[in-house]
Structure 1
């Protein structure tokens, strides 16, 4: 049972935070582990178009395939002699210049069909097929690390699949509604005091609410990044986070919609960096989507569901300033099933390597724990960049 003194202290710390409610915009989940390193996973739900995020401007077939959707390299940030960054990612480009961002192109999970729900399930659970595994790879990562007072906290109406599993998870979702009165919260606490299931959950919810403090209840990407960074920056805060972003399914009017999505992602990353402060230098952020989009534009000013995509690693802990790509090409014979960017890098391997290097874990054990069903990509008949070739992603820990 939570004491009245403990209850009042939580209420005082969170009076302006508001009650939990459904998030309309990005939502995120957090987990506490005993480390000064932070690890953040940002999922782009809807299949983000990697070919227009990290643009292969030197690829001869790119402009012809994309037509009016092709990004004008004159407005983009050239990363090297082959790739450029979408012009909406201005602050991300600054992170790249500061060697705090890197990109892995032509990357994919083992999933090879084009269902959002199935693709996201494979991305979050780390299986070979949809619904093959019941828990998520991010939850399994939590179990590999020393246990703290609270193992995980989800800032979402429901816990994302990547964080479901054996490690305990509570949830919190900021709301724009007026906050509940202290008297009401105290009455609920008394009501749940002797309930073996609801009592502990309510106490954890009040703890999360107190940690949020006077954070803004706004749900735009920058506010979400600021709130997440505030939690992660605390000495007693979580060390693992998941942030959900939606709206990446650009079947029509792609140029304007993708630019708006990327502007939001850019603002989220910048706000996360600023809120983390000095802890940013201990932070690794992985940004990934369930699959990419078709190499060619469709007839409605957009692109359809594809395969190969691009993943980002961002953060002060990242050994950035690089684009990693075993480029497959975009000529008709190069495309997967004649329509998609062919994957040449394993997203499973990228995630496992980044997580292992962030927390100083054995890379093979980490890969086996997070992605136990993965078999080096050989089953697809594809030459994927694997774990051993994705080392050196994260810099040495600061001392």
Structure 2
């Protein structure tokens, strides 16, 4: 029988692909009073914010990276004279110019140093301040929000897997939904499962056969629909619910764990994110003007690229905000710098703002949730600070 220790050891060997495994992808919904809508997209695998929103105006960037994140000279789109948008998000530039896209650099949860995808994602979705709180707090911050919203109801659903998204887990009633999409296994996930099944005669042959079927099925989907079909399906279904009674939606997108050849491997994840946002914008119609999207990841990546042209697990990351209700066209917060003395532990982007504070102010401005409830119940122990005014 496969032990947890062997599974975790195998995960580390393969490169943490299990943390962003497609079987864990899920989607959840909640209804709430009022007309404002909130969409939270969890980017599983630790998105490199320095690559997505490239601080090319920082003179230290080129000392840390020669193959990635080099700004407008390499095809990125200038945003404000200091930051540039990754070329694979070029389709979102009209939103930036329309004030419907923004971002917050140098953000993180209070999670530090251990840099585990599993723990980082748990803390992000639980909304807690320490590792210990994650184990004690079994529900998620969106579910706790509902308890502070009179008349709110919740229902949850899953895209591919059988596990509920923790961010909306809790006492609220749950339902399920499975979109008509096929299982997708990336190279790292296949290697992980082959390693796990290798010594198990019961599952080895069946597992290998199943992976081959999944691979052939996904090849046909790519030929017909393109590589970002899953993201569009999740966004389209979310929009259909948000056009009804639903006011809060959350789903996850994987593919952000870019340890090697990042200039190539990050493209698919970025295009999926862009497609999800644009699909939602199109399908929401007039309700887009009342919608706020927060795209959040468990932590950032190292400031310095590694020998494989990728980046390793870090600390400070970035949060993307979009929607017709946001005050876009700007970078929120401060930039800490990339000098050696500016980095966290001499290796990572220094977090400047607790990402929970941005989420809390969004909830305050969207739904009128009281600050006291946000700081004590929804995000225990959080100091929200001053209002960054995410909304227009």
2:137 pairs, out of 129, 133, 147, with 133
Note the alpha carbon deviations across 1:229-270, whole angstroms, 9 max, x for none: 111112xx3111111011111001111111221011000100
| Offset of residue 330 of structure 1 | 0.6
Q: Where do 5+ consecutive residues of structure 1 fail to align?
A: 1-21, 178-215, 377-386
User: CA distance change for structure 1 residues 72 and 84 in 2, over 3 Å: closer, same or farther?
Assistant: closer
2:150 pairs, out of 140, 146, 152, with 146
Q: 1 CA distance for matches of 2:229 and 2:237?
A: 10
1:299 pairs, out of 297, 301, 307, with 307
Q: Where do 5+ consecutive residues of structure 2 fail to align?
A: 1-20, 183-224
Note the alpha carbon deviations across 1:265-320, whole angstroms, 9 max, x for none: 00010001111111111111111100000000111110000000000111111111
Q: 2 CA distance for matches of 1:25 and 1:271?
A: 22
Q: Secondary structure at the match of 1:170?
A: coil
TM-score with structure 2 setting the length: 0.78
Aligned residue in 1 for 2:28: 29
Q: 2 CA distance for matches of 1:172 and 1:328?
A: 42
Q: Secondary structure at the match of 1:68?
A: coil
Whether the 8 Å contact between 1:29 and 1:155 is mirrored in structure 2 is yes
Q: 2 CA distance for matches of 1:294 and 1:23?
A: 25
| Offset of residue 367 of structure 1 | 3.0
| Offset of residue 219 of structure 1 | 5.2
TM-score with structure 1 setting the length: 0.76
| 1:338-353 to 2 correspondences below 5 Å | 338-353=346-361
Q: 1 CA distance for matches of 2:266 and 2:391?
A: 29
| Offset of residue 25 of structure 1 | 9.1
Q: 1 CA distance for matches of 2:116 and 2:290?
A: 35
| 1:231-310 to 2 correspondences below 5 Å | 231-234=241-244, 237-310=245-318
Q: Secondary structure at the match of 1:241?
A: strand
| Offset of residue 328 of structure 1 | 1.0
Note the alpha carbon deviations across 1:134-160, whole angstroms, 9 max, x for none: 110011112222335x52222333211
Moved more, 89-98 or 113-122: 89-98
Q: 2 CA distance for matches of 1:95 and 1:26?
A: 27
User: CA distance change for structure 1 residues 176 and 341 in 2, over 3 Å: closer, same or farther?
Assistant: closer
Q: 2 CA distance for matches of 1:49 and 1:362?
A: 33
The Cα RMSD (Å) is 2.0
Whether the 8 Å contact between 2:95 and 2:101 is mirrored in structure 1 is yes
Aligned residue in 2 for 1:18: none
Q: Secondary structure at the match of 1:322?
A: coil
Whether the 8 Å contact between 2:45 and 2:254 is mirrored in structure 1 is yes
For the pair 1:221 / 2:231, whether they are aligned, the reply is yes
Whether the 8 Å contact between 1:140 and 1:167 is mirrored in structure 2 is no
Q: 2 CA distance for matches of 1:62 and 1:53?
A: 13
For the pair 1:357 / 2:361, whether they are aligned, the reply is no
Q: 1 CA distance for matches of 2:333 and 2:61?
A: 16
Whether the 8 Å contact between 1:136 and 1:164 is mirrored in structure 2 is yes
Q: 2 CA distance for matches of 1:125 and 1:176?
A: 28
Q: Secondary structure at the match of 2:125?
A: helix
Aligned residue in 1 for 2:169: 164
User: CA distance change for structure 1 residues 108 and 220 in 2, over 3 Å: closer, same or farther?
Assistant: same
Structure 1: which 4+ aligned runs deviate by more than 4 Å? 22-26
Aligned residue in 1 for 2:37: 38
Q: 2 CA distance for matches of 1:25 and 1:371?
A: 24
Whether the 8 Å contact between 2:71 and 2:78 is mirrored in structure 1 is no
Q: 2 CA distance for matches of 1:254 and 1:87?
A: 13
For the pair 1:394 / 2:388, whether they are aligned, the reply is no
Aligned residue in 2 for 1:368: 376
| Offset of residue 26 of structure 1 | 5.2
Moved more, 341-350 or 157-166: 157-166
Q: 1 CA distance for matches of 2:148 and 2:108?
A: 24
Q: Bigger radius of gyration, 1 or 2? A: 1
| Offset of residue 220 of structure 1 | 1.7
Q: 1 CA distance for matches of 2:79 and 2:363?
A: 25
